Structure 1
Amino acid sequence: MTSYPVPDASGFVKLDAMENPFALPPDLAAKLGEHLAGVALNRYPAPRPDALIDKIKRTMGVPPDCDVLLGNGSDEIISMITVACAKPGAKVLAPEPGFVMYAMSAKFAHVGFVGVPLRADFTLDADAMLAAIAEHEPAVIWLAYPNNPTGTLFDDGAIERIIAAASKSLVVIDEAYQPFAQHSWMPRAGEFDNVVVMRTVSKLGLAGIRLGYLAGRPTWLNEFDKVRPPYNINVLTQAAATFLLDHVDVLDAQAAQLRVERGKLAAEVAALPGAQVFDSAGNFLLVRVPDASAVFETLLSARVLIKNVSKMHPLLANCVRLTVGAPDENARLVAALKLVLN
């Protein structure tokens, strides 16, 4: 194995990690600084910060019959779920190509990973998923909604078929990019006895504080809490999130602007020779180009950092992933793409 690659982005237009490019407004940032100054750094954090959890429930529309479990980013929640369900012969299942941490966490926990290929257009192959569920009886099924790196928002009817067939499985609906999809399974999180919904505040504009959360029936979350590392959410993250959730309208406005920029960027890139842009419900675009390596290297020389995903899965041949940035960043991206695609 290799460690998770994070390239040095110093001096680059950073469009490789689906981050919100906008900073907090200066007055709000100043108030946040004053709030954080009062944090007791000499004390361990609350293992279960009730005030923050209650605020997440209210702000994010968590159903009243559901509880919330916090993680150090959704990456830690993925790890906790995998470890909690690990036993000899256990397997987890996910569509591919998908988020790499589903398979990596399975490997760390010595759990089998079953990948089910998407269709060529990156839609969910529900029949193949149902066949794999019947054959492997996975402990966990991961469904990213929308999917990374394709940006696909899987069909709700197909997801319902999977939930119904997964009588021996937990279905985790990963809504990391929900601010850009504007569709959610959160209102239905308590409707099923085998479904939980996972989110993060990273894509909303708070990637630096590393906070993910899982919503679902308490019977599930109580089990996952048993493998949660003690004090896993630090005091600065707790304080920052508690404060900023009172100003989530600022972050929602930034997400709305990025949705507009996504449409503009998709149109500009699609107009370039040889570029095929796939529909995206995230804050990124998957683009097939004649030569992904040449595109990546040309952009790198132009000090624009993107993600070359062409080797991740055969369905992603010659594909690159472009994060939607601020207007000036997108302009530099398109200018650099013209150098290689023309």
Structure 2
Amino acid sequence: MADVSRFIAAGVRARSAYHVVAGEPAIKLDAMESPYRLPMELRDRWLHALRDLALNRYPSPEQYERVKARLARDAGLAPHIGVVLGNGSDEILQNILLALASNVTVVAPTPTFVMYEQIAAILGRRFVGIPLKEDFALDVPALQDALARHAPALLFLAYPNNPTGTLYPMDAVRALLDVDDAAVVIDEAYYPFAQASLMGAVEDRPRLLVVRTLSKQGLAGLRFGWLAADRAWTDELEKVRLPYNVGVVTATSVEFALDYADVFADQAARIRAERGRLYEALRAQVTVWPSEANFLLFRPPVPADAGRIHARLKDAGILIKNLAAAGGALAGCLRVTVGTPAENEAFLAALARAL
């Protein structure tokens, strides 16, 4: 194999590629996807909406503007707030970091969504993680101290947090929004399950950027995310966004999905109800943390058994996420996505056997 290391940036060489488990288990509960497919009665309507698309043409600016206007209207955004579209919210996070000066520092409470640090490292931005408290609560004084000491350009806050499911108290978040100089990115990927949002705060906070995605509410295969912020931000981010980054199939599907938002809201409500039931069932067997997302973080009675339990579940055709290798606060932890009632029952039975 050729040695290409001298051509590759140090931040890239030092990282591993994001690993996605191959194969399709009988029950897939590892990636925070919705367990519900598009309802059968909507599939023909969706296919009809796609039927006459001109796949030989690039997406049109008019369609992009139509999608942005619809998102802004549905979110109740003021005219001075802009919207940027992304090929998944990961691309938007990447574009934010791309747009920053090369010598900046970014901060986030940890453990959190791995892509904040991954993208920052690859792009050569300095990442500083500030540990959460033992119960995964936000350590506001430690974060305020870090913001003062490191003078970062950006603070990432997953709201609620991944992989813990924690929804930080609004007063704690607002205290961080008031810190001078640093911009704050609120990642609301799990908004449908938390039903708490900082979206309305972008109107009078020019350093606040709010990111959302359609992935968690049943459209992960589309790869679509969006950002809302003051137009001073979105005008700059549009320079970084690659042309035609959202394809016509995705853009048309997003317009279709927005017309049926009530269907996806109903699915989210069912997942929230199952989350509560699953949490109570897990409490009898393991240490489990409350969650406002569509997953639950838990630790078996013997933390060292996490790898064995993960393997036994996989052998039983049930895939969950093994976070034990992350170490630190996540040592011995596993994470399960909330599935359908039948999937959750199968998981609980297999977990009991594995324990």
After TM superposition, the score normalised by the length of structure 2 is 0.93
Determine if contact 1:146/1:153 at 8 Å carries over to the other structure: yes
Question: 1:29 aligns to what SS in structure 2?
Answer: helix
User: Following the alignment from structure 1 to structure 2, what is the Cα–Cα distance between the partners of residues 309 and 62?
Assistant: 37
Q: Give matches, 1:2-41, under 5 Å.
A: 2-41=16-55
User: Following the alignment from structure 2 to structure 1, what is the Cα–Cα distance between the partners of residues 354 and 94?
Assistant: 40
User: Following the alignment from structure 1 to structure 2, what is the Cα–Cα distance between the partners of residues 120 and 109?
Assistant: 31
User: Following the alignment from structure 2 to structure 1, what is the Cα–Cα distance between the partners of residues 140 and 240?
Assistant: 32
User: Following the alignment from structure 1 to structure 2, what is the Cα–Cα distance between the partners of residues 12 and 86?
Assistant: 46
Determine if contact 1:309/1:319 at 8 Å carries over to the other structure: yes
Question: 1:189 aligns to what SS in structure 2?
Answer: helix
Q: Give matches, 1:1-342, under 5 Å.
A: 1-47=15-61, 49-88=64-103, 90-165=104-179, 167-272=180-285, 275-289=286-300, 290=302, 291-341=305-355
Alpha-carbon deviation of 1:164? 1.1
C-alpha distance after superposition, 1:189-248 (max 9, x if no partner): 212121111100001111110110001110111111111111100110001001110001
Backbone CA RMSD of aligned residues: 1.1
Determine if contact 1:86/1:109 at 8 Å carries over to the other structure: no
User: Following the alignment from structure 1 to structure 2, what is the Cα–Cα distance between the partners of residues 54 and 35?
Assistant: 19
Determine if contact 1:85/1:140 at 8 Å carries over to the other structure: no
Aligned residues: 337
User: Following the alignment from structure 1 to structure 2, what is the Cα–Cα distance between the partners of residues 47 and 270?
Assistant: 51
Alpha-carbon deviation of 1:59? 2.3
Alpha-carbon deviation of 1:11? 3.4
Q: How many percent of aligned residue pairs carry the same amino acid?
A: 45
Determine if contact 2:25/2:319 at 8 Å carries over to the other structure: no
User: Following the alignment from structure 1 to structure 2, what is the Cα–Cα distance between the partners of residues 63 and 193?
Assistant: 13
Residue 3 (structure 2) aligns with: none
User: Following the alignment from structure 1 to structure 2, what is the Cα–Cα distance between the partners of residues 10 and 155?
Assistant: 37
Q: 1:313 to 1:130 in 2, by over 3 A?
A: farther
Alpha-carbon deviation of 1:47? 4.8
Q: 1:122 to 1:63 in 2, by over 3 A?
A: farther
Question: What amino acid sits opposite 1:252 in the alignment?
Answer: A
Determine if contact 1:91/1:111 at 8 Å carries over to the other structure: yes
Question: 1:68 aligns to what SS in structure 2?
Answer: strand
Residue 6 (structure 2) aligns with: none
User: Following the alignment from structure 1 to structure 2, what is the Cα–Cα distance between the partners of residues 91 and 11?
Assistant: 40
Question: 1:226 aligns to what SS in structure 2?
Answer: helix
Determine if contact 1:47/1:230 at 8 Å carries over to the other structure: no
Question: 2:95 aligns to what SS in structure 1?
Answer: helix
Mind listing any 5+ residue stretches in structure 1 that lack a counterpart?
A: none
Question: 1:180 aligns to what SS in structure 2?
Answer: helix
C-alpha distance after superposition, 1:134-182 (max 9, x if no partner): 11111111000000000000121111111111x2211000000000001
Question: What amino acid sits opposite 2:196 in the alignment?
Answer: H
Indicate the larger mover: 20-29 or 251-260.
Answer: 20-29
Alpha-carbon deviation of 1:64? 4.0
Question: What amino acid sits opposite 2:82 in the alignment?
Answer: D
User: Following the alignment from structure 1 to structure 2, what is the Cα–Cα distance between the partners of residues 117 and 39?
Assistant: 48
After TM superposition, the score normalised by the length of structure 1 is 0.96
User: Following the alignment from structure 1 to structure 2, what is the Cα–Cα distance between the partners of residues 51 and 340?
Assistant: 51
Indicate the larger mover: 43-52 or 187-196.
Answer: 43-52
Determine if contact 1:296/1:308 at 8 Å carries over to the other structure: yes
User: Following the alignment from structure 1 to structure 2, what is the Cα–Cα distance between the partners of residues 47 and 87?
Assistant: 30
User: Following the alignment from structure 2 to structure 1, what is the Cα–Cα distance between the partners of residues 60 and 220?
Assistant: 21
Alpha-carbon deviation of 1:63? 3.9
Alpha-carbon deviation of 1:313? 3.9
Question: What amino acid sits opposite 1:327 in the alignment?
Answer: P
Alpha-carbon deviation of 1:256? 0.3
Mind listing any 5+ residue stretches in structure 2 that lack a counterpart?
A: 1-14
User: Following the alignment from structure 1 to structure 2, what is the Cα–Cα distance between the partners of residues 62 and 265?
Assistant: 36
